[in-house]
């Protein structure tokens, strides 16, 4: 008798790509390190700034 195996990993490929973006220079094999406000590649040094959340970005200049 085999019990029903509970899927421990319910993460789909789409979700994985969303959390970790791949480096545009190194290719899809290399992922960018997640930072508070930006992502950086530890391989080639590529870095890109994250888009700030709409709630926090609502600040009037001046």
Give dist(CA 41, CA 30) in Å, integer. 8
Instruction: Count other Cβ atoms within 10 Å, centred on residue 32.
Output: 20
Q: Is 46 in the site for Zn ion (CB under 5 A)?
A: yes
Least distance in angstroms from the C-beta of 31 to Zn ion: 9
Q: 């319910």: which residue's tokens?
A: 10
Q: Give the nearer residue to Zn ion in terms of CB position, either 34 or 52.
A: 34
Region from 3-11, 12-20, 36-44, 49-57 binding Zn ion, contact rule CB under 5 A: 36-44
Q: Is 44 in the site for Zn ion (CB under 5 A)?
A: yes
Q: Is 11 in the site for Zn ion (CB under 5 A)?
A: no
């Amino acid at each position: 008798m085999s019990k029903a195996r509970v899927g421990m990993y319910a993460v789909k490929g789409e979700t994985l790509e969303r959390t970790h973006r791949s480096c545009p220079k190194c290719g899809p094999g290399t992922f960018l390190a997640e930072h508070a406000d930006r992502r950086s590649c530890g391989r080639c040094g590529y870095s890109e700034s994250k888009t700030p959340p709409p709630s926090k970005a609502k600040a009037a200049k001046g």
